[in-house]
Structure 1
Amino acid sequence: MPVPLLRASPVASAAQAKNLSRIDFRELQALTQTLQQIDRLMGQAQGIGYRVDQVDSEFKRLFPQSFGQALTTNDLVVGARARLDTSVAAFNQTMRVQAQVVGNVAADTQALASIMAKSQGAEGGLQAQQATNQLLALAAKQQFQIQNLMAAQYRAETLEASRRAQAEAEAQAATRKFLGNGTAYHPR
């Protein structure tokens, strides 16, 4: 006996069409653009940047481990100035990243309101899922911003701590050089 074909009623077809309708999300492009802006800011790091293959050589150049007798006062001053400039540039870059993140908060607030409105007005399963995906994308973008901000902040703090440690090591080396063999000069 042949199986009868079931035909969907017009009401069921309309419900299925609503369930599969899509929502247009312009917010995704804006989220991507703000992440790209932060990436550009992170790429503008001066002194010691974020490239793994360059960190060691740049760090060794700015913070040498040996303090040979050949270093002149001028060499010490030039090195100290380069380290100070690098620390200041790192803090400046951190402030720029912070400013960008703070600036993004207003845009994120608008994006969140728009996504929530679309979520509330979702007519079908696909629209609801799309709205959820957009909320997850916004949360991921904010997490990436926090990670970049933390990287910039920790970089600045590390460079400043290294600069202070280097200044201390150079001062100790200068003291040893001044004292020589440890016997102080005694006039007769």
Structure 2
Amino acid sequence: MKIMMSRALLATLLAGSALTMSAVSAPAAAQVGGIVHDPRNYAQNILTAARTLEQINNQIKQLQNQATSLANEARNLTSLPVSTLQEMQGQVDRTRQLLGEAQRVAFDVGDIQTAFDARYKGAGLTGSQAAMVANAEARWKDSVGAFQDAMKVQAGVVANLAGTGQSIGTLVSASQSAAGALQAAQAGNQILAVQSQQLTDIAAALAAQGRAQMLDAARSAAAEAEGRERFRRFRKGN
């Protein structure tokens, strides 16, 4: 009995060893429903799919970056929707018009030379008594007109200050809210144009004031020369 049980146990152990060896030596594949499943091929397919998905994600990121770059370029190329050039040009034209309305002795080299030859030197100071009186009155009118012109130009410059301040405020606001580099640059250029217009107004006011002062100084010099001529004639008459 013991011999028969030993033989049965030995047979069972041999059968188990045979199954284990066959399982180790067999390829890692299984057949389910007529379809052969290979785990190694399946793992390789998953790895390939993961790499493909990563490449697709990288391409999507690149496209997103390109779209963002194009959007930024579009903003940088957008023009400034605000322009104050027309208002500034109008202010410059008004100041120029005031200068062009100069009375008697205008801002013209030829006109100045003619006026001085006729009323401020030479024969204008040594003519007849009636001529000397007429020239003195003409010189007085030159001075009065020049001072009036200077005050008109200064009044025009002051009137431009309100529009200039409004233009600067508009441009500074547009610059701070600029969508891109082009808008910021255009706002900066217009601010420089406003400053140039202010310098033009200042130059016009100084020119008008200087003209008035020079004509008044010339009138004083002419009056002094005329006084010497009158005194010479008086002494000669005596």
Shift, 1:53, TM fit: 2.9
Q: Distance in 1 between matches of 2:163 and 2:111?
A: 35
TM-score between the two structures when normalised by the length of structure 2: 0.70
Deviation readout 1:5-50 (Å, 9 max, x if unpaired): x976222111110011001333111001100001011011112111
The code of the aligned residue for 2:192 comes to L
Is the counterpart of residue 26 in structure 1 residue 83 in structure 2?
yes
* Runs of 5+ consecutive residues of structure 2 not aligned to the other structure: 1-61
RMSD: 1.7
Which of the pair has the greater relative contact order for Cα pairs under 8 Å at 6+ separation?
1
Q: For the Cα contact (< 8 Å) 1:63–1:166, is it kept in 2? A: yes
Q: Distance in 2 between matches of 1:14 and 1:33?
A: 37
Q: For the Cα contact (< 8 Å) 1:48–1:59, is it kept in 2? A: no
Q: Which residue of 1 aligns with 2:97?
A: 40
Equivalent residue in structure 1 for 2:202, among 120, 136, 146: 146
Q: Which residue of 1 aligns with 2:48?
A: none
Q: Which residue of 2 aligns with 1:3?
A: none
Q: Which residue of 1 aligns with 2:112?
A: 55
Deviation readout 1:49-104 (Å, 9 max, x if unpaired): 11123221122122132443x512x2222111111111100000000000000011
Q: Distance in 2 between matches of 1:56 and 1:75?
A: 19
Q: Distance in 2 between matches of 1:24 and 1:85?
A: 50
Q: Which residue of 1 aligns with 2:215?
A: 159
Q: Which runs of 4+ in 1 moved over 6 A?
A: none
**Is the partner of 1:9 in helix, strand or coil?**
helix
TM-score between the two structures when normalised by the length of structure 1: 0.87
Q: 1:12 and 1:98, CA in 2 relative to 1: closer, same or farther beyond 3 A?
A: same
Report the structure, 1 or 2, having the larger helix content: 2
Is the counterpart of residue 16 in structure 1 residue 73 in structure 2?
yes
* Runs of 5+ consecutive residues of structure 1 not aligned to the other structure: 1-5
Equivalent residue in structure 1 for 2:140, among 78, 84, 89: 84
The code of the aligned residue for 1:129 comes to A
Percent identical among aligned pairs is 34
